[in-house]
Structure 1
Amino acid sequence: MTSGRSGGGGNALAPELARAMLGRMLRIRLFEEAVADLKARAVMPGATHLSIGQEAAIVGACLALRDDDYLTGTHRSHGHPIGKGARLGPLMAELFGKANGVCKGMGGSMHLADFSVGSLGESGIVGGLMPIAVGAGLSARMRGTDQVCLCFFGDGAVNEGVFHESLNLAATWKLPVVFLCENNGYAMFTRHGSTSADGDIAGRAAGYAMPGAKVDGQDVEAVHDAVREAVARARSGKGPTLVEAVTYRYCEHSEFGGMTLPTYRDAREIEDWRERDPIALFETRLASMQVLSNAEMAAMRGEVAEEVAASIAFAQAGEDPVPSALFDCVYG
């Protein structure tokens, strides 16, 4: 879906796109709230990393893609395939480590992949999927398609060597890749300004002779507009773009189910960002524009809640992988 605002000097929003934006943001939010609850009750194994608060950056970017385009993600992984339209049941089952999971229970929370929606994978290695995104762009070029790869990464990845290598190669070969930094201000417990002499991530694009754009990551329309332009540029053969979406995660770095984490930010900071909740902001805009009524939005939230509940039931009905499955999906 690449069409968006229409008429009114960019003030109008197509109803179909508006519903998709809200629906997918709600799917991420309610899915991850359910995951947080399951973790708190020790029902779900392992650690998870939630993107609650970052939904607009994910959905705005993903809805600028076509169905056959690719994406790569990060360790904060659930939102990306959901933003691209993945089914919730197999994703939830994967978090439970079940054989009916999207990766047959072998990946878990930080290593989701869903080829049915173009999600090539996610990784606990910071910046680890950036070269994969460049490879996907090269593949599209060599196969003669006009597909694009959207590469998600966090602010912590911009100080990794793989960031330089990936942007440099993509720019040199003018590959169809959009690099999307979800800048939530923290790499685990460390503020971005403590590790970077220059906080302007989008400004780094100049060093690779590519455009850079910095957008409000709590504004789904702003993200969509910036990424849509970058996608069009990539699809036309003009090469990559770096987009920095300034956003915030409301939860801790990870959810371990009751583990005490270090204090590294104050409550006032979190509350200030909660006042700019991306879903609440967008719902207010839709109501004021009379695109959706409050009743319609409430009904949509209820439908998504039912979908999330069904995904949990699907996961809990799944079987554990059999030991012999260790030999599936590997080269012989």
Structure 2
Amino acid sequence: MNPLAQDAEAAKSVLKTMWMIRRFEEAVEDLYGRGMMHGTMHLSIGQEAVPTGACLALNKDDYITSTHRGHGHCIAKGADIERMMAELLAKESGYCRGRGGSMHIADTTTGNLGANGIVAGGVPIATGAALSAHMRGTKQVAVCFHGDGAMGEGAWHEGVVLAAMWQLPVVFLCENNHYGMSMASEKAFNLEKLSDRAKGYGIPGVTVDGNDVQAVRDAVQEAVDRARSGGGPTFIEALTYRWRGHSKSDKNLYRTREEIEEWRTHDPIPAFEARVLQAGTLTETDLEEIRNQVRDELRSAVQRANAAPDATADGLLEAVYAS
């Protein structure tokens, strides 16, 4: 069963989100290459199904915490792509007024508590947000996106221990793209499945195909429903793969071209398009319209963001010290 592929409006929404993440990151990669962006950036090309599927299970006021590889999370939770692009271009109209860049985008209006340059840095934040929701009785849920590398950090252990102990409404969603920087996860963890680690914390652990948007959505929906009803946290491992290096400076010397090409055959976007076509929900013309719409919206966002005023140092300390 693939309900998302059999519902025309749902299918369009899923494809638009996944294509927007893909094209946004390709545009960012191009702008960096042309010297129009500075600092660093981490791309999640190939992983689009995880944030898309996960955020389908969330309400607007539910929380997410993100990672240094967080453009997809931000877009899937409903961010404005012009403000995102402006932030990366160091413009005053950016989400953080051009001061945070790629690794620190936050959008509290959609429940995005922020990307994080610290590995596992979002884990205690998500646990804290879930504790807040629990104490206020709001029925909100927090989803903590993190990579496989985060599971070697003390902050991950501490956040999961507290969430399990207090039965907090939080879902720990590991995007296992098989590498923590250049360290293969199979070398870093003596586990057949990373979800097996959940047993040690007394919480459910699930492993899903992270390139199957329906599988991700279903797993997260079940975990969110459980959390919202007072059942406590869940750990989900979504198996996926990043096509690009760890960051823009990564020469990819630790993996083979053959491995990368093999994973490219599991591209989540054409896989979902094929299911939609097979179900007869949308036509090839419909799919092309979605691709063109994403292209046009993104081009316009890049143009408007690039024309916005540059961030200045004048108010640099405004968000540092209380007035």
> What TM bracket, shorter-length normalisation?
over 0.9
- Tell me whether 1:292 sits opposite 2:292 in the alignment: no
- Tell me whether 1:84 sits opposite 2:77 in the alignment: yes
Q: Which segments of 5 or more consecutive residues in structure 2 lack a partner in the other structure?
A: none
User: SS state of the match for residue 323, structure 1?
Assistant: coil
Code of the residue aligned with 2:235 in structure 1: it is: L
Contact 2:140 2:169 in 1 (8 A): yes
- Tell me whether 1:312 sits opposite 2:302 in the alignment: yes
- Tell me whether 1:113 sits opposite 2:106 in the alignment: yes
Counterparts of 2:5 and 2:252 in 1: how far apart (Å)? 44
Q: Report the CA distance between 1:115 and its aligned residue.
A: 0.9
Q: Report the CA distance between 1:321 and its aligned residue.
A: 2.0
Contact 2:5 2:11 in 1 (8 A): no
Q: Once the two structures are superposed, what CA deviation does each residue of 1:231-252 show, in whole Å capped at 9, x if it has no partner?
A: 0000001100000000000011
- Tell me whether 1:144 sits opposite 2:134 in the alignment: no
- Tell me whether 1:164 sits opposite 2:157 in the alignment: yes
Code of the residue aligned with 1:279 in structure 2: it is: I
- Tell me whether 1:276 sits opposite 2:269 in the alignment: no
- Tell me whether 1:34 sits opposite 2:27 in the alignment: yes
Contact 1:192 1:199 in 2 (8 A): no
- Tell me whether 1:44 sits opposite 2:37 in the alignment: yes
Q: Once the two structures are superposed, what CA deviation does each residue of 1:28-84 show, in whole Å capped at 9, x if it has no partner?
A: 000001111111222221211000000001110111101111100000011111011
Counterparts of 2:256 and 2:201 in 1: how far apart (Å)? 36
Counterparts of 1:159 and 1:200 in 2: how far apart (Å)? 15
Identity value in percent: 51
Q: Report the CA distance between 1:20 and its aligned residue.
A: 1.4
User: SS state of the match for residue 304, structure 1?
Assistant: helix
Counterparts of 2:2 and 2:171 in 1: how far apart (Å)? 21
Contact 1:218 1:276 in 2 (8 A): yes
Counterparts of 1:244 and 1:219 in 2: how far apart (Å)? 13
User: SS state of the match for residue 214, structure 1?
Assistant: strand
Contact 1:185 1:247 in 2 (8 A): yes
Counterparts of 2:6 and 2:128 in 1: how far apart (Å)? 34
Length-normalised TM-score, structure 2: 0.97
Which of the residues 56, 63, 69 maps onto 2:56?
63
Code of the residue aligned with 1:245 in structure 2: it is: A
User: SS state of the match for residue 230, structure 2?
Assistant: coil
Length-normalised TM-score, structure 1: 0.94
Query: Partner residue of 1:232?
Result: 225
Moved beyond 4 Å, runs of 4+: none
Q: Which segments of 5 or more consecutive residues in structure 1 lack a partner in the other structure?
A: none
Counterparts of 1:262 and 1:296 in 2: how far apart (Å)? 37
Q: CA RMSD of the aligned region, Å?
A: 1.4
Q: Once the two structures are superposed, what CA deviation does each residue of 1:240-299 show, in whole Å capped at 9, x if it has no partner?
A: 00000000000111124xxx6251111111111111100010000000001111110110
User: SS state of the match for residue 326, structure 1?
Assistant: coil
Code of the residue aligned with 1:282 in structure 2: it is: F
Contact 1:5 1:14 in 2 (8 A): no
Contact 1:24 1:85 in 2 (8 A): no
Contact 2:5 2:281 in 1 (8 A): no
